[in-house]
Each structure stands twice: as structure tokens, then as C-alpha cells.
Amino acid sequence: MHAFACIECHCRGCGVDMGERINSLFSIKINFAESHTFFPTIVTCVLFLLLLVIVLVHGIPFIRKLRQGGGKISIWAENFDKLRFWGTMLFTIFYFLSMDYVGALFPNMGFGFLIMSMPFMLALSLLYVHNFNRKKIVVIALNSIIAPSIAWYVLGNLFNISLP
């Protein structure tokens, strides 16, 4: 690690006594030009060391169990709802992209937020609802219009908060 350098002499038999030699073991001089990497290097090493221990303690027994057919690798919940999960991801990414794009067309107005939040909320609510009926759809549609409008008015206009 280039940031470390012993400040004591490195040679043997130069007359430095035992106590000083032990002290020199703990001595550290930090080069200011490299000081930004000093602590991150230590933390990164500790992180990798911990990762190694985790692999040894948890990983190896798990792989052994896997080989014996007793375990499985799956990060998904047992009743994983693909449609709702990936739908949420997709809508959210599209929401962020479109909000930025529309916001750039009307700078400092918060219209990117207002205009794109409405279809996003409508789509997400329709994605999440179980057992459709007319009443639910009307409530969802009203919620999708009213909630972003209130947020835009209160936060953007009353509180002067920057919105996309």
C-alpha cells in the first residue's frame, strides 16, 4: 500500500533499542497526496476479508448442501408475482426517464413531474389492483389525477420546492 511508509529507519543493527523498534512497527506516515486512498484501502481490505470469511462460514456449507440436493438458489419469494414486480421496475424506470425528458421541455415548472406522475400512478395502481370493478377504476383514475396535482401545487407552488 503506497500510502504507508515507516518513519523509523528500516535497517537492523543501527543502535535503535527494542522499545523504539516496537514503536516503529506502529508508526505510520500518511502522504497527503495519497491520503484520499488511505482509509478506503483499509475499508476495502476489511470488506474483502469479511466476504472471504462469510464464504467460508456460510458459502461452503451451503454449496455442500446444494450438492446433496438439500438446498436451492433462488432470490425470489415463493409466491413471486412476476407481473407486478417487473411491471413496477419497468414503470418506475420509464417514469424517471420520461419525467426528465418532459421536465426539460418546460424548465423549472415541475411539469415533468405533474404530467408524468398521472399516467405512472394510473398504470401502477391498475397493476396492483386485484379484482377489477368500475368503482375501483374510477377511484384509481381520480387518485391518479388528484394526488400528483396536490403534490405539485403544495410542494412546487406553496413551498417553492424544485420538481422535475
Partner 1 sequence: MEFLSLLSPLFFLLVGVGVVIGIIFGAIPGMTATLAVAVCLPLTYGLDLTQGLALLLGLYVGGISGGLVPAILLNIPGTPSSITTTFDGYPMTLKGEGEKALRTGIISSLFGGLFSAVILFLFAPVLADWAIKFSYIEKFLIIFFALTVIASLSKSILLGIFSGVLGVWLSLIGTYDISVGGNGDTRLMLAFMEPYLENGFSLLPVLIGLFGLATILDEAEKGIQEDSSANRIDLSAQSRFSLKVFKGQIINLFRSASIGTFVGMLPGIGGSAASVLSYTQAKNFSRNPSRFGTGEPEGLIASEGSNNGLTGGALIPLLSLGIPGDSTTAVLVGAFTLQGIQVGPLFISENAATWNAMMVALLVGNLAMFAIMFFAIKYIVKVITVPKYLLYPIIVMMCVVGAYTINYGIMFDVWTLLIFGVFGWFAQKIGIEVAPLIIGFILGKSAEVYFVKSLESFGTLTIFFTKSPIAVFLWVLILASVFFSIYVAYKSARKAQ
Q: Which three cell numbers stand for residue 158?
A: 406553496
Residue with cell 391518479: 144
Write the CB contacts of 103 (distance below 8 Å, at least 6 apart in sequence). 110, 111, 112, 113, 163, 164
Cβ distance to partner 1 smaller for residue 16 or 88? 88
Q: Which of residues 64-123 bind partner 1 (CB under 8 A)?
A: 75-77, 79-81, 84-85, 87-89, 92-93, 95-96, 99-100, 113, 117, 120-121
Q: Does 124 sit near partner 1 (CB under 8 A)?
A: yes
Question: In sequence order, which residues have a C-beta less than 8 Å from that of residue 94 and are 6 or more positions away?
Answer: 120
Q: Is 149 in the site for partner 1 (CB under 8 A)?
A: no
Name the residue type at position 8.
Answer: E
Q: How many residues bind partner 1 (CB under 8 A)?
A: 68
Q: Angle at the Cα of 53 (from 52 to 57), degrees rounded to 5?
A: 120
**Residues engaged in binding partner 1 (CB under 8 A):** 7, 23, 26-30, 32-33, 35-40, 43-44, 46-47, 50-51, 53-54, 57-58, 75-77, 79-81, 84-85, 87-89, 92-93, 95-96, 99-100, 113, 117, 120-121, 124-126, 128-130, 136, 139-140, 143-144, 147-148, 151, 155, 158-164
